[in-house]
Amino acid sequence: MTTLRNYILHHKTKAATLAAFRVLFGVLMLGSLIRFVAMDWVAKFYILPKWHFTYYGFGWVKTLGIYTYGLFAVAMMACVGIIVGYKYRIFMILFFLSFTYIELIDKTTYLNHYYFVSVMSFLLIFLPLHATFSIDAKNKGIDYKYVPSWTVDSIKLILGIVYFYAGLAKLNSDWLLRAQPLKIWLSTKTDMPIIGSFMNQSWFHYTMSWSGMLYDLSIPFLLLIRKTRPFAFVAVVVFHVFTRILFDIGMFPYIMICLTLVFFDSSLHEKFLLGLKKAFKINDLDSNTTVELYSFKRIKNILFIISLFIVIQLFLPFRNLCYPGELFWTEQGFRFSWRVMLMEKVGYTNFIVKDSVSGKQFHVKNSDFLTSFQIKQMSFQPDFILEYAHLLGDHFKSQGHQNIQVFVESYVALNGRLNQLFIDPKVDLYKQEEGFHNKTWILPLNDEIKGF
């Protein structure tokens, strides 16, 4: 306890590290939001769909229709405030709330890196990223030279969790012993210049699978060690650039490359800030009073919140252990666990609405209610299927239909296996409730996937 107390109270690092991280984070988030709007994805994912698939407990989060553009504008404005360090904490809270609200509108668009942005932005609310090189510091006339080391280390810890847990998730028989789903994906890239001929080679599939696992498990530790840090960062750049070339994964590679710079010594961040000052002709804050160390108000409350938050991040990815069955098949506890690009699932799901008294029934044309992207995601994810069954039941009930039952014929193929019956066709899904309990109406996978 004495050692921990000493670390919290007396270990310090240059404030430039947090300032550089703030600028990079703000620029990357602003670029991501602009890209999202420019690709016309706001309309495609949040405005045009008739129905949206919600997260359990967040059904109250609704699309704002055309005003969703306003929500994006708010998030962009917050990014600008973060970049320049103006009213930093207010704008970081605003960014966290607006970005997270956008992501909660429809889980069809769930991606691990969107979740990462929400996780990181929540943490950054409580850290003094505006202690130096900010409008806040200039307005207050106080420039802090140092910040407590734990403020930077907490960022490193979150990044380490993302990488290490992604590596743990790859310790499974599909990834290591079958090279799946990489074998499926890489086999479609044979037209690539130079390396296209490798894409159908079994040795290349296994090399990519095993190297990806070893990279994720080791990279946080290699970045922490001064001697291996430069080589580790080269590996980060090569890995993320290569995956960006192979797969359409948006801004995530650039985000991870830039934010990983937080592991480097503060001298690098000071040079980065100096370069920004020269490039944009920013006046030095020489008139400010330089204070040695940033001190927190309500330090106990902040440490409690951050500690609880980190504990949640450490244990939440293992909640799948509370459920029986194959995780990749049932997906119970799959999201928010840093299981990145581990599954290739293809599904065909047909819904039957039935009158339990007369026995009359009809098949639903999914395209009458869902977009093609929603249909694809719904077809193999159990919670989507259940929610859609309830949406259909409520819809036809509102039209005057009586004694409604909703059944499903669903076949799914996982990681190159033959498709098999996915949902019990005898179960009326309209009577099943969503929750954290085990979904017994998911039929078991006719195979075993060993490992995490």
Compute the average pLDDT of residues 327-340.
96
DSSP string covering 276-317, please? HHHHTTPPP-TTSEEEEE---TTHHHHHHHHHHHHHHHHHGG
Work out the mean pLDDT of the chain and round it to a whole number: 94
DSSP 8-state class, residue 132: S
Nearest CA among 387, 343, 400, 448 for reference residue 54: 387
- The answer to whether residues 404 and 353 touch, using CB atoms and an 8 Å cutoff, is yes
Question: Is the confidence at residue 287, as pLDDT, over 60?
Answer: no
**Burial track 265-285 (b if 16+ CB lie within 10 A, e otherwise):** ebeebbebbeeeeeeeeeeeb
pLDDT tens digits, one per residue of 293-307: 888 888 899 999 999
Q: Which band of pLDDT confidence, cut at 50, 70 and 90, is reported for residue 133? A: very high
Cβ atoms of 124 and 113 within 8 Å: the answer is no
Residue, of 197 and 153, whose pLDDT is higher: 153
**What is the per-residue pLDDT across 361-403, written as a single tens digit (0 to 9) for each?**
999 999 999 999 999 999 999 999 999 999 999 999 999 888 9
CA dist 110 and 104 (Å) reads 9
**Over 70: is that where the pLDDT of 285 sits?**
no
Q: How far apart are CA 296 and CA 356, in angstroms?
A: 64
Quote the crossing angle between the two packed helices 252-259 and 112-125, to the nearest 10°: 40
Per-residue pLDDT, averaged over 118-122, amounts to 98
Q: Mind listing the pLDDT tens digit for each residue in 85-114?
A: 999 999 999 999 999 999 999 999 999 999
What pLDDT does residue 296 have?
84
Quick one: pLDDT at residue 417?
Answer: 95
Q: How far apart are CA 348 and CA 412, in angstroms?
A: 6
Amino acid at 74: V
What was the pLDDT predicted at 218?
97
The domain limits of the chain are 1-150+265-340, 170-260, 344-431
Residue 423 DSSP symbol = B
